[in-house]
Amino acid sequence: MQVTPVFAACLLLAILFVGPTGAQCPANSEFTSDAPCDSICGVPCDFKGVHNICICMDGYLKDPKTQQCVRQNQCSIPEDIPVLRQMPAFSFACFV
């Protein structure tokens, strides 16, 4: 029957284009389909958005030298650069 090879080919193509549902992320990071930014030691969030990548879990920041997610006190950046522990909050202060 001709249907089985066609079905198998379509299934294979779908798997190749969609990819695995669970990405393999490094330690202390998790896969996200949408986030405001990747939290990097000493770099403010630009809120441009990141898509389909592994980002650091809450409480961790990506060290720019090692590209690993580390605790905030383990960031390998100079002392005079703030670690930027939290993303700045946006508010409409003029409407309050």
Query: The domain that contains 38 carries what CATH number?
Result: 2.10.25
Give the pLDDT score at 32: 94
List, as own/partner pairs, every contact residues 65-70 make where C-beta atoms lie below 8 angstroms and the sequence separation is at least 24, other chains included.
68/26, 68/27, 68/28, 69/26, 69/27, 69/28, 69/29, 70/28, 70/41
Q: Exposed e or buried b for every residue in 14-40, given b needs 16+ CB within 10 A?
A: eeeeeeeeeeebeebbeeeeeeeebbb
Question: Does residue 11 lie within any of the structural domains?
Answer: no
Q: Which of 17-21, 25-29, 32-36, 49-53 has the lowest mean pLDDT?
A: 17-21
pTM: 0.59
Give the pLDDT score at 9: 61
Domain encompassing residue 56: 26-86
Interval 54-79: pLDDT, tens:
999 999 999 989 999 999 889 988 77
Question: Does residue 69 lie within any of the structural domains?
Answer: yes
